[in-house]
Amino acid sequence: MPSVKDIISSLESYAPLALQESYDNAGLQIGDPAVDATAALLCLDVTERTIDEAIKRGCNLVISHHPLLFGSVKNITTEDERGRTIIKALKNNISIYSAHTNLDRARQGVSMEIAASLGLENVKVLEPDNADHSVGLGAIGDINPMPALEFLRKVKDIFGVKCLKYSASFHALIVKRIAVCGGAGASLIRKAVNEGADAIVTGDVKYHDFTTWGKRILIADIGHFESELCTKKIFKHIIAERFPEFSTYNSEEETNPINVL
């Protein structure tokens, strides 16, 4: 049986902590790395419901994309959900590990998985690191030319988007070069335009991003949650490569914190 440290080692071989942004807090959030890992629950966000699900499934390790501990923590009490989540994890000897922007920037990270889901070809990193062009943020590649509305319908279907926001002022009929970025990728719109992209698929796009760039590129805002659900697939693949007998479970309890009517 692998230890928590063994599982972490496999994740960090794929997405080294050195790749994370300076503001981030990826890594082991809670727990003892030396204990044996019984099974792992994979999720986007760690909540009370996530910990309850881990307990029910017999998992003493939770692996998330978004760090539970992000920013300053001034107290841990039962007065808020984060405090209750931490306390419950500690009481039940559950370790919590997060791979966030280091997974975004990895060679085959979040954006590369999105590109694969869309069937992009000739894919490269959209905003590569200066020292290593194989890592960085976003991805860009080509698809067989298709009508813009057909592409949007394809995006909506692939990512299970209930309400797709897109740039209404974009008038080109055909798209063939596509940029993508998991999470909040509006900062990469300018780069996508400069790289000749006809469209960019990302989340958390603001009104003024649409008004500034909407005539020059088809912006498809699929939502932050929807754009990063693929992280669970990546986690499962990483662990299965090294520990094929180790059990991992995708969380069935987590839901998008944003609803639409």
Contact 246, 239 (CB under 8 A): yes
Residues of the chain with pLDDT under 50: none
Between strands 136-147 and 40-43, the pairing is unpaired
- Asked if 149 and 199 count as a contact pair (C-beta separation under 8 A), the reply is no
Reported as a single tens digit per residue, the pLDDT across 208-260 is 999 999 999 999 999 999 999 999 999 999 999 999 999 999 999 999 999 98
Cβ(40)–Cβ(249) below 8 Å: yes
pLDDT at 76: 93
CA angle 185, 168, 199 (to 5 degrees): 40
pLDDT tens column, 101-123: 999 999 999 999 999 999 999 99
